[in-house]
Amino acid sequence: MVAKESLDVDLLEDDEDEMEDTQEGKYLTFVISNEEFGFEIRFVNEIIGIQTITEVPDMPDFVRGVINLRGKVIPVMDVRLRFGLGPREYDDRTCIIVISVSDQVIGLIVDRVSEVLDIPKGQIDPTPDLRKERGNRFILGMGKVGEKVKMLLDVSKLLWEEEGGMN
Amino acid sequence: MSSDLESRREMVVDFVTESRELLDNIEPQIIELEKHAALSGDVDDEVLNNIFRLFHSVKGMASFVDLQTIAMVTHEAETLLDLFRKRQMTIVTGHVTLLYRTCDFIRGLIDKVEEELTDSRYAEDAASIIGELKQVISGEQRAEAAAEAPEDGPRGSSAGETENTQVEDQGTENLEVPCEFQFDITPEMYKRFTDEAIEIFEEIEAALLELEDNPADKECVERVFRGFHSFKGNAGFFGYSQLEQLSHQAETLLAEIRDKGAQVDGKAISALLAVVDSLREGVLSLNAENGPKVLNTTELEALLREVSMEISGNNSVDPQVEPASPVPESVEQTQGSPESVQVDSAAKDDGLKKDSLEKRVPSKQTAIRVDVDKLDSLLDMVGELVIAESMVSHNPDLQGLQLDRFEKSVLQLTKITRDIQDVSMSLRMIPLAGVFSKMARLVRDLSVKENKKIELEVIGEDTEVDKTIIEQISDPLVHLIRNGADHGLESAEERRAAGKPETGKITLEAKHSAGEVWIVVKDNGKGLNKEKILKKALEKGITKDDNLKDEEILKLIFEPGLSTADKVSSISGRGVGMDVVKRNIEKLRGRIDIRSNPGQGTAFIVRIPLTLAIIEGMVVKVGRSLYTIPIISIRESFRPQPSQITVTPEGSEIVDIRGELLPIIRLHELYRVKPYCEDLDQGILILAESESRKCCLFVDELIGQQQIVIKPLSEYFGSVRGVSGFAILGGGEVSMILDIASLIYSVETMTDPVRLSAAN
């Protein structure tokens, strides 16, 4: 009896800790080309369905243009193209994840959005040091959830790392 | 407990805001006092009373909020002013400077109080300025007791006469005011100087390291140059002559590198990095008691000279550059006497200025303080409202429907929305008076530093502009005025020889005109020498064309690296300021024009659009893309006849409009979109003009005219050719707003095999 009570108390404390770090360790996961990726939810403002994109000239191919988000004009990036994968026709499951990084708001086009997962640090392995090609250089680490592996992305690198392109 | 803290914080915030306003009002009044005294040897009672009242108010508020240090300092200032009021003392330059310093000191304290909610830590710092004030006060009272008749005494003569020289000296001794007239430097100012310096050094280092990897990169050279230049300016302002001198040497070396297009080697980079290190050490060693300790100056200077020799193959650094003498100190010391005479004005103008100054005395307006964030938030929402209203009134669902009553209501809605828009825009409008009054002090300081008599005339300071403009316009104006004082206005002898009044005049004028605010800085000096400018520009390779129109020649002074100043002084002449001025103005979507007449003077006309966020635009369609062209850039639109079109051998298309031949820009080619029609006579040509450049844009069709809320180009894009921003249209679509001048420029500089226009 006593043991059980103390056990319960322990569990309670853990819950409180987690509640305090509201967004730490939580990742929004999505699918690109049947692979699962994710990044920290603290960057995410909202998720919307795909909508009309207005093209902007002189941009790298992965910057598709801009959209009108309730009166704000924000740039959108096709993550597939950013990873060097072939384009895919947008369907009704294609989403735009609107993120905010360093005061800049950008939309990321992904095939499908999955779910928000808790991935504690202990479950994240460093990227096996393979060729730093295309998509690989955006990966922060490999998050293990159950039997699956989600590739966790570095949002800043995703937005700004050059391949002879932007900013 | 915490609610006490909260209410104290609130009281302190109120105090801070109000006292800052009061201090802003005191300074121009002090200038006015000085001028009047210089003219008539007497004090203007009304002005004096104003100043007294202002100090008194600050004192009262400070006491109320338990800020005793501030209260004590203001009390002494009050006492001093009282002496003037009772005619127990004649006001001279030393007093004015002391009063300024007192204001600066109080400002510094206020800044501290804003953070700390108390001023008790600064009693010691305050002791020094209180001491000075007390000395002046008691010194006079002692001298008064000692002197027999006022005429014999040291204070007798009116400041307008030249015997003031000895008066000033004797007065100085009696008053025991420190001879150097350097202002009191508050801990706040140190911190700012240090912080800025550190930032500048970081930037210089970064640029130097980049330069090492790319020795031919001119942009890096510019950055390093600008860094040293900025730091030099700051150091000079504080009177740190060693720091100033060292940065001046570095700057000179950079100028040489830039002008000769030399490639820098490791040795030069190391030398410059060593200079940065030394400067940094000096800055970090600064504290309230000691000036900066700069080590190794002689070795560094020798090193810099070596590098310079290697670069130029000559034996000396550019002989025309004056070593930066510690100008502030020596000037202020020797100029102690003529000051009160110089900063005067012709008697007849005095009346004018008094009037304009009187308007600046704090008038009893019913005003309410609003948090800027709330205001911005309101304006954002108004912008959204305009878009939403547009989306309703131009809704595609309504096309072709006959809805009379609905349309009437929509018209009403549109009208009200426009009104809300106008009013809310005006909420952010602030009169330029605040910015202009800072210039008064600048001109006074310049007048002393340049040893020229300069008068500042201010017209239209009640003109209101948006808050953003107020924040950004100050620096460019300061630079233009400095230029006018330094290069524009001649010395007293030169002016006399030319038959001009000895006192040079700088005029600052502001007015609204056609949706823009015009700010004019003009001087009645010697004007710009067009031949010299053209010559320098050709020499430096800035232009190859020697057949330029006058306006174009004058515009050359905005190119970096161009300065026709024969001697480079520590204020200006380096050729780095005007391009920054132009850029800052362009950031506000404004432009700057120059008019100049040799012997008569120069005028800089700055024009800035009043409404930063909303323009009238014509929406056009090219294929599936929509573009918006600002109405002010459109002259006309038409469908051309095949007979009007000529195609040159290179493939450029030209259209003949009533005898005028203009180039055609095919937007679909520029932006690589697929148009509906490719034949010119099936689409529309729009005659667009910007900055005296004209062209015809070829589009598929015109959609219509709309009020457009400008959405800025997202930083993520960097710059896009010919596009200045985005607009959200009635149906929710996004269109790109074209910038005609930049468009024409892009087309000219494109190297792709797109049909370009040859006739420009």
Q: Dump pLDDT digits (tens) for B425-474.
A: 788 888 888 788 778 767 877 777 778 888 888 898 888 888 778 888 88
First and final C-alpha spacing in chain A: 63
Report the C-alpha gap between B406 and B311 in whole angstroms: 77
The pLDDT value given to residue B291: 67
The pLDDT value given to residue A22: 67
Domain of B742, CATH number, reads 2.40.50.180
Which residue has tokens 């007015």? Answer: B511
* Residue B519 falls inside a structural domain: yes
B285 & B422 share domain: no
* Residue B121 falls inside a structural domain: yes
Q: What is the pLDDT of residues B206-216, one digit of tens each?
A: 788 778 778 88
Which residue has tokens 């055609």? Answer: B664
| Cβ atoms of A48 and A55 closer than 8 Å | no
Task: Provide mean pLDDT across the span B556-572.
Answer: 63
B529 pLDDT exceeds 80? yes
3-state SS assignment for residue B512? strand
Domain of B605, CATH number, reads 3.30.565.10
Q: How crowded is residue B240: how many other Cβ atoms within 10 Å of its Cβ?
A: 24
Which of B427, B458, B493 is the last residue in one of the domains? Answer: B427
* Residue B269 falls inside a structural domain: yes
* Calculated CA dihedral for residues B436, B438, B440, B441, nearest 10 degrees: -170
Instruction: Name every chain B residue with its beta carbon within 8 A of the beta carbon of A82.
Output: none
Of all residues in chain B, what percent carry a pLDDT higher than 90?
10
CA distances from B97 to B104, B179, B283, B340, B392 (A): 10, 11, 26, 11, 61
Strands B693-699 and B516-523, how do they pair? unpaired
B15 & B164 share domain: yes
B559 pLDDT exceeds 50? yes
Two structure tokens written together for B494? 């030169």
Q: What is the pLDDT of residues B394-421, one digit of tens each?
A: 777 888 888 888 889 999 998 998 889 8
Q: Quick one: which H or E segment has residue B341?
A: helix B339-342
Q: Do B717 and A68 touch (CB under 8 A)?
A: no
* Residue B342 falls inside a structural domain: no
- What residue ranges define each of the domains in chain A, with the CATH number in brackets? 25-160 (2.40.50.180)
Domain count, chain B: 5
| DSSP track, chain A | -HHHHHHHHHHHHHHHHHHHSSSTTEEEEEEETTEEEEEEGGGEEEEEE----B--TT--TTEEEEEEETTEEEEEEEHHHHTTPPP----TT-EEEEEEETTEEEEEEESEEEEEEE--GGGEEPPP-----GGGGGEEEEEEETTEEEEEE-HHHHHH--SS---
In this structure, of A142-146, B300-304, B621-625, B627-631, the range with the lowest mean pLDDT score is B300-304
3-state secondary structure B105-167: HHHHHHHHHHHHCCCHHHHHHHHHHHHHHHHHHHHHHHHHHHCCCCCCCCCCCCCCCCCHHHH
Q: Quick one: which H or E segment has residue B195?
A: helix B187-213
Report the C-alpha gap between B238 and B256 in whole angstroms: 27
Task: Provide mean pLDDT across the span B305-331.
Answer: 51
Q: Do A167 and B732 touch (CB under 8 A)?
A: no
The pLDDT value given to residue B343: 33
B602 & B631 share domain: no
Dihedral sign (CA B237, B243, B244, B248): negative
Task: Provide mean pLDDT across the span A153-159.
Answer: 91
The pLDDT value given to residue B684: 93
- Please give the residue of chain B at the shortest CA–CA distance from A75: B714
| Cβ atoms of A17 and A10 closer than 8 Å | no
Model confidence band, residue B334 (pLDDT cutoffs 50, 70, 90): very low
Q: Mean pLDDT across chain B, nearest whole number?
A: 76
CA-wise closest residue to B618 among B602, B634, B605, B604: B634
Report the C-alpha gap between B650 and B366 in whole angstroms: 67
B720 pLDDT exceeds 70? yes
Which residue has tokens 């302002």? Answer: B237
The pLDDT value given to residue B178: 35
Domain of B423, CATH number, reads 1.10.287
Q: How crowded is residue B318: how many other Cβ atoms within 10 Å of its Cβ?
A: 14
Q: Do B733 and A66 touch (CB under 8 A)?
A: no
Q: Do B383 and A71 touch (CB under 8 A)?
A: yes
The CA angle B629-B630-B635, to the nearest 5 degrees, is 85
Task: Provide mean pLDDT across the span B631-658.
Answer: 90
Task: Provide mean pLDDT across the span A82-100.
Answer: 91
B18 & B33 share domain: yes
B490 & B594 share domain: yes
The pLDDT value given to residue A108: 96
B446 & B570 share domain: yes
* Residue B63 falls inside a structural domain: yes
Picking from B672, B711, B726, the nearest residue to A57 by CB comes out as B672
Q: Do A73 and B720 touch (CB under 8 A)?
A: no
Q: Report residue B455 CA to chain centroid gap.
A: 19
The pLDDT value given to residue B304: 82
- Please give the residue of chain B at the shortest CA–CA distance from A58: B720
Report the C-alpha gap between B395 and B416 in whole angstroms: 18
B436 & B569 share domain: yes
Which of B166, B181, B196 is the last residue in one of the domains? Answer: B181
Q: Please give, rounded to a whole number of angstroms, the shortest distance from the CA of B707 to a CA of chain A.
A: 15
The pLDDT value given to residue B342: 32
Task: Provide mean pLDDT across the span B335-362.
Answer: 37
* Residue B533 falls inside a structural domain: yes
* Residue B554 falls inside a structural domain: yes
B217 pLDDT exceeds 80? yes
CA-wise closest residue to B118 among B162, B185, B65: B65
Q: Which of B625, B716, B728, B743 to mutate to test the interface with A (most CBs of A within 10 A)?
A: B716
* Residue B337 falls inside a structural domain: no
Higher pLDDT, B119 or A32: A32
| pTM of structure | 0.47
Which amino acid is it at B103? C
Q: What is the pLDDT of residues B14-49, one digit of tens each?
A: 888 888 888 888 888 888 888 887 777 677 778 888
> Residue B140: which residues within 8 A CB-CB, separation 6 or more?
B83, B88, B89, B155, B174, B175
Where residue A58 falls (left for φ over 0; alpha for ψ -120 to 50; beta otherwise) is left
Enclosing domain of residue B534: 430-609
3-state SS assignment for residue B364? coil
Q: Do B720 and A56 touch (CB under 8 A)?
A: yes
B690 & B736 share domain: yes
| Cβ atoms of A127 and A96 closer than 8 Å | no
B32 & B156 share domain: yes
B314 & B386 share domain: no
B200 pLDDT exceeds 50? yes
Domain of B238, CATH number, reads 1.20.120.160
Instruction: Name every chain B residue with its beta carbon within 8 A of the beta carbon of A56.
Output: 717, 720, 723, 736
In this structure, of B356-360, B543-547, B583-587, the range with the lowest mean pLDDT score is B356-360
Task: Provide mean pLDDT across the span B227-252.
Answer: 85
B69 pLDDT exceeds 50? yes
Which residue has tokens 């072709």? Answer: B400
Q: What is the ipTM of this complex?
A: 0.79
B446 & B406 share domain: no
Q: Answer whether A75 touches B (CB < 8 Å).
A: yes
B123 & B216 share domain: no
Q: What is the pLDDT of residues B489-519, one digit of tens each?
A: 888 888 888 888 888 899 999 988 766 788 9
Helix axes B297-312, B266-284, angle to 10 degrees: 150
The pLDDT value given to residue A96: 96
Q: Do A73 and B728 touch (CB under 8 A)?
A: yes
Cβ-based contacts under 8 A for chains A and B? 62
> Residue B699: which residues within 8 A CB-CB, separation 6 or more?
B620, B621, B622, B627, B667, B683, B684, B686
Task: Provide mean pLDDT across the span B582-601.
Answer: 84
Highest mean pLDDT among B80-94, B208-222, B591-605: B591-605
Strands A104-110 and A72-78, how do they pair? parallel
What residues does B340 pair with on adjacent strands?
none
B666 pLDDT exceeds 80? yes
B332 pLDDT exceeds 80? no
Which of B331, B358, B393 is the last residue in one of the domains? Answer: B331
